[in-house]
Structure 1
Amino acid sequence: MESRTTTSFHLPVRPTFAARPTADAPLDSVRLEAEYIQVAEGLGGDAPSHEAGDAFLSTTNALYHGGPVQWSFVPKIFSSRDLGYLAWIAETMGGIMEKVTARFVEDADFRALFKLDPAIERLACMPNAFPVQIPIARVDIFLDEVTGAFKFCELNTDGSSGMLVTEEVTRANLLTATGSEFARRHGVAAFDIYGACVEAILSCYRDAGGSAARPRVAAVDYAESIVREEIEEFGRVFAEHGAELRFTDIRDLRYVDGVLRDAAGTIDCVWRRVVISEMLEKPCDGADALMACAEDGRVPIVGGFRTWPCATKTVFAVLHSETVEDVLTSAERAFVREHVPATYLLDASSDLAPFSERERWIAKPRDGYNSIGVRAGRDCTDVEWRAVLDEVAQSGGIVQEYVVPYASSNVEGGVAGQDRPFEPYMNMEGLFLFNGRFSGVFTRCGQASVIGEFAGRLNMGCLVVEGA
């Protein structure tokens, strides 16, 4: 792969905030982003910065098929007050996920609701080597910034999707004439998502008894699935924290006499990046070695198999079931009722008639990832939707309440967006949790009903105005 030298440009300092359960509606983001657009319009649309942004991203690892990723000219801009609300949302769901995971381990009847592969179910119940059940997570929400209302989209564990593009697109935004002028007016902060993630991984390693002076950490995934550019960036941050990181194709793993190795040598700690459902689809000796290592418990695996139940599409249906009555508090159950979309598990015997009003529903494969196989009813004809429902029922997928995302004005960054007008783009926020603490935002926007990697989404930067 071509080697690239990243810029020495540094993001502003980390923002400060305190979690709070209420939003000041509308959120400050509405006003701040409107001001950002006014700055751009005062610069005649700031067309030269589009090309300059692409040129900058081309020097970074934020690439897609060799060129800069698709990015939005207007970043998501929150105030520290806004972040307090986001922190409450993320950390409340994080606490729910911890409780659900603990009950999954303790209760065989509860485990049965998830219908996991027996081997994965067994590994998920192995003793946990560190205090938190889920050290790395990203909870995705649809947030109405005018009213403060929100609904969850899905829960993600262990991977770091969005960290690389968020950091680099934020840099690109700040290097535009518009971003520079906005930052001059306000002073801005930005999340150090990489640093917070690395700190969480290394703290898990130490909590598990790891004692290497410079631990060798392997990010394990399939070579065809990993974002190698992201691992390169993480390697730099791990080195700054006194550790080594390398990518390991899961096929290269071997586990003998309590020692885990790959093609490069011994591994002190694993950061599981491989999606469990993909691992089951692609069996290999290395996957068997990873599972044997997890069962033995001698090598810490950050994002072990225990995190998988809350990453499945099934978990929302479980959260709405009576089985959580004695798992969650009354306040947590009310939080679920209000903010987790209605979700139904289907099988070949399911009555599909309640889902015939296609614009109200979205269908997802039970063990899907990267929005693969996700179909929104409003993107289908009536005939297509009936076929989607049949397929989901036969494969044991889910149907979920469709949430219309909040839309804000934006335009595509880069050459593709030069001289184009601002238009409504629907937003989705991913709230990062590291060791249970809210630590960053991954925002993307789009004009299709599914804001996914394969639906022309735009990656957004994220700025914070302190005390706005």
Structure 2
Amino acid sequence: MIKTLQDSIIKVFTENINSYYSDYLNIKEKVKNSSAIYRGEPVDFLYHALFFTEEEYNQLGRFLSEMTSILNKVIEEYKKNTEFRKAFAFSEFLEELILVETGYHYYFPIGRFDIFYNDNGSHVFCELNTDGSSAMNEVRVIGECIKNSRIIGDIFEDPDVLIGFELFYSWLDGLIENYKVFNNGIDDRPNIAIVDFTGDGTIHEFKEFQKRFIKKGYNTFLCDPREFIYKNNVLYYKEQPVKLIYRRATTNRILEEAGDITDFLNAYREGAVCVVGGFVSQIVHSKNLFAILHDRDKTSFLSEKEKEFIKKHIPYTRILDSNDGKMIEEISSNKDKWILKPFDEYAGKGVYAGKDYSQEEWKKILGSIRGNDYILQEYINGPVLDMVNPGEKKKIDSFNFLIGLFTYNNKLAGLYTRAGRKNIIGSIAESFTVPNFIVRG
């Protein structure tokens, strides 16, 4: 990260606060009228940006590749080792879906891996999201707004030295790459369905994908999986055949609604449709993956180098056993060392950091989650950076932040940063989007 540029934003802002505050308000209005909407509200953002050299970005790509190699080995072990599968504790129904062959090469073609960033390369993974990964539209809208802001114009003579991240057309390329493998090397311009349950997901983002896919010549629908009809080995949406699906519906919702989406599931099982975001990706998405990776008895298929990578870059994690008195005593007595996370939630739901609670509150939480599927994870004191926060008294604040690494077909596709002043960063607590740029030269 280029520290001199972080410092420049703060210095320039404090020298002319009122002018830049006015610019911030203009951007806020633009975002309000944009498609950067989450749960009915405009996305919160900071009047700030993070800057990286091309080599720093490439280093993140290499870091992601190391993790990807380990994850691919885990999935291959899962597919062939029935004993190893038991460690994930998936239902029989989900296991059956996971083992269905997708028809293309990548086990998790799309994802966002959130990390605690460190300039010296000792990054630590926070979580791996391969199930309905989102926020591409936030990256686009907030990135464009800040790049065109007054403060960036005053710092850079030529703002075009800043490279943002195009995450829509590049994902279409990724989709089609997978589809061609599925379809014997042929791109026959299939109808594409972007699939999620009505009322779930980020519809504004889906529409941005749809608009660009159509522009490139691919007829694209936004579909609820309950609306599919499967007959004569063809999956239909409103009488239109669908051969390629970009799945945004989360696996949990798929399982909840399984009885109402049998046509979709049967088409998937029988290989009648290419579903990019196959259920095998749930192995990576599951929160208890980190606990399994830290259990050397379960990872004999990994090299010593890979095990050292896990030790260095993945927080120590165990599956919570409420009946293990020794474990509960350790968690209770050293609450600030631990964070509790449910197996499969998002946006910070159900996550508890011991630092946020009194001793008495913490004991109550431990009692309240008894019997639920939770992991116990080492609490990581992540990076902190001063950032411009004009929305509150036009001031500079210290923010914790996470950097998300978008992975498209196992390659780094872009960055997404969220910042907050609380111990959990997410919509459940506090989250501001901060754009990222690579600086040319």
TM-score when normalising by structure 1 = 0.88
Structure 1 position 53, deviation (Å): 0.6
Q: Which moved more, 1:74-83 or 1:434-443?
A: 74-83
Q: Distance in 1 between matches of 2:426 and 2:238?
A: 34
Deviations 1:247-288 (A, max 9, x none): 1112222323322123463211111111112322344412x3
Structure 2, unmatched stretches of 5+, are none
Question: Secondary structure in 1 aligned to 2:83?
Answer: helix
Higher mean alpha-carbon deviation, 454-463 vs 38-47, is at: 38-47
The answer on whether the counterparts of 1:347 and 1:395 sit within 8 Å (CA) in structure 2 is no
Number of the residue aligned with 2:431: 457
Give the drift of 1:315.
0.5
Q: Tell me which amino acid in the other structure corresponds to 2:403.
A: E
**Counterpart of 2:191?**
216
Q: Tell me whether 1:355 sits opposite 2:328 in the alignment.
A: no
Q: Is the 8 A contact 1:169 1:461 kept in 2?
A: yes
What's the CA shift for 1:460? 1.2
CA displacement, residues 392-442 of structure 1 (integer Å, 9 cap, x when unaligned): 3411211111111211112336xx34x421010101011011111111011
C-alpha deviation, 1:373, in angstroms: 0.8
Write the letter of the residue equivalent to 2:248. Answer: R
Q: Is the 8 A contact 2:320 2:375 kept in 1?
A: yes
Q: Does structure 2 retain, via aligned residues, the 8 Å contact 1:188–1:463?
A: yes
Residue 5 of structure 2 corresponds to which residue in structure 1? 32
Q: Distance in 1 between matches of 2:358 and 2:270?
A: 51
Are positions 1:342 and 2:319 aligned together?
no
Matched AA of 1:135: P
Match of 2:305 among 328, 331, 342: 331
What stretches of structure 1 move > 6 A for 4+ residues in a row? none
Percent sequence identity over aligned pairs: 26
1:228 partner letter = I
Identify which of 124, 127, 139 aligns with 1:151.
124
The CA distance in 2 between the partners of 1:183 and 1:232, in whole Å, is: 33
| Matching residue's letter, 1:368 | E
User: What are the residue-to-residue correspondences of 1:195-274 with 2, within 5 Å?
Assistant: 195-209=169-183, 211=186, 213-263=188-238, 265-274=240-249
Question: 2:371 and 2:145 mapped to 1: Cα distance?
Answer: 45
Q: Using a 3 Å threshold, how does the CA distance of structure 1 residues 406 and 264 change in structure 2: closer, same or farther?
A: farther
C-alpha change, 1:323 and 1:299, in structure 2 (3 Å) is farther
SS at match of 2:249: coil
CA drift of 1:314 comes to 0.9
Is contact 1:363–1:392 with CA below 8 Å preserved after alignment?
no
Name the aligned partner's letter for residue 453 of structure 1. Answer: S
Task: Output the CA distance in 1 between the equivalents of 2:370 and 2:41.
Answer: 39
In the alignment, does 2:408 pair up with 1:431?
no
Counterpart residue type for residue 111 of structure 1:
R
Instruction: Tell me which amino acid in the other structure corresponds to 1:150.
Output: H
Q: CA deviation at 1:212?
A: 5.8
The 3-state SS of whatever aligns with 2:112 is: strand
- Retained in 1: the 8 A contact 2:178–2:276? yes
Match of 1:394 in 2: 371
Contact 1:412 1:458 in 2 (8 A): no
User: SS at the partner of 1:131?
Assistant: coil
Greater Cα shift, 266-275 or 238-247 = 238-247
What displacement does 1:57 show?
A: 1.3
User: Any conservation in 2 of the 1:142–1:427 contact (CA below 8 Å)?
Assistant: yes
- 1:366 and 2:343 are equivalent in the alignment: yes
Contact 1:345 1:397 in 2 (8 A): yes
TM-score by length of 2: 0.93
For the pair 1:85 / 2:59, whether they are aligned, the reply is: yes
Q: Which amino acid aligns with 1:244?
A: N
Q: 1:244 to 1:91 in 2, by over 3 A?
A: farther
2:415 alignment counterpart: 441
Rounded to whole Å, the distance in 1 between the matches of 2:218 and 2:354 is: 47
Q: Which runs of 5+ in 1 are unaligned?
A: 1-26
CA 1:121 to 1:65, structure 2 compared with 1: closer, same or farther past 3 Å?
closer
Name which of structure 1's ranges 54-63 and 457-466 shifts more when overlaid on structure 2: 54-63
What is the deviation of 1:66? 5.0
What is the root-mean-square deviation in Å for CA atoms of aligned residues? 1.9
- Please state how far the C-alpha of 1:55 moved relative to its aligned partner: 2.0
What is the aligned partner in structure 2 of residue 174 from structure 1? 147
CA contact (8 A) 2:21 2:394 kept: no
Q: Is the 8 A contact 1:110 1:323 kept in 2?
A: no
Question: Distance between the aligned counterparts of 1:184 and 1:160, measured in 2?
Answer: 35
Check the 8 A contact 1:364/1:392 in 2, yes or no: no
**Residue aligning to 1:406:** 383
Are the aligned partners of 2:131 and 2:251 in contact in 1 as well (CA < 8 Å)?
A: no
- Partners of 2:298 and 2:51 lie apart in 1 by 36
Cα–Cα, structure 1 residues 180 and 66, in superposed 2: closer, same or farther, change >3 Å?
farther
Would you say the 8 A contact 2:383–2:401 is kept in 1?
A: yes
| One-letter identity of the residue aligned with 2:137 | L
Residue 250 of structure 2 corresponds to residue 275 of structure 1: yes
**In 2, Cα distance between the equivalents of 1:240 and 1:99?**
38
By how many angstroms is 1:67 displaced? 4.8
Which of these residues, 304, 308, 311, is aligned with residue 282 of structure 2?
A: 308
Partner of 2:24: 50
- Retained in 2: the 8 A contact 1:78–1:463? yes
